[in-house]
Amino acid sequence: MNQVGVSGNVQGATNRYGNTNGGLGLRASLYNGGLFGTAKYRHEFGATYQGYTGGNTNTIGLKLGYLFNASNILAVGPYVGYEYNRFAQSNAYYDSHSSLSTNGLGGGLYAAASLPGVNFTGYVGYLGGISETQHLSGFAPTTFNRTSDLLQMGVNAYYPLMANVSLYVGLHDDDFTQRGAPSVILLKSNKASFNF
């Protein structure tokens, strides 16, 4: 679980317009004596909501927790997590730009398993919305006191290629639920990268 990785991925948006676009990401994790932490940054190319073009998404996520040995191949434990998402889009016809930023804090359950030839990590968690800000060019930013919560699930499989180099493939699902502010629902999938 001591890793630094670079990833490419495909993301599908399951909102009312929906689309598929690609992206790039960075991921790092540390593990020592049961304590673990993960950090990620992901950039998605293309609009991700409301049918506009020329947009992008940026995500920063952090997890910190503790794993208990459930068996000689499985460890599970709780974590606290934070995630920032910024969804941006442009409309060339109206020459307008808009963005939606969300902050979420919460936690969940994390697991790691070591099987012959392949390793797995997985998680399920819920982040409560802290704040949400919407900006449209020509207007002052609007900050909402209530914001979208985030249900997260994911699994990664790591396959060793050579000493200190692995290939990983993951499937991740982020569901934003409206709670008094604009909501975005995303499905992120088919992540493949080399870990160093």
Q: Per the structure, how many domains does the chain have?
A: 1
- Residue 129: give its domain's CATH number: 2.40.128.90
Query: CB under 8 Å to 188, separation ≥6 — which residues?
Result: 9, 11, 12, 172, 173, 174
The SS3 of residue 33 is coil
Query: In terms of pLDDT, which residue wins out, 63 or 150?
Result: 63
**Longest Cα pair distance anywhere in the chain, in angstroms?**
60
Q: What six digits make up the tokens of 174? A: 């982020």
The lowest-confidence range among 15-29, 103-117, 127-141 is 15-29
Q: What six digits make up the tokens of 27? A: 């991921």
pLDDT single digits (tens) 31-70: 998 999 999 998 887 654 555 555 678 899 999 999 999 9
Domain of residue 25, residue span: 3-184
Task: Give backbone dihedrals phi and psi of 66, rounded to 5 degrees, phi first.
Answer: -140, 135
193, part of any domain: no
195, part of any domain: no
Within 13 Å of residue 151, how many CA atoms lie on the same side as its CB?
A: 6
Q: Which of 121, 110, 109 is nearest to 166 (CA)?
A: 121
pLDDT given for residue 189 in this prediction: 33
pLDDT given for residue 179 in this prediction: 62
115, part of any domain: yes
192, part of any domain: no
Q: Which of 99, 81, 94 is nearest to 143 (CA)?
A: 99
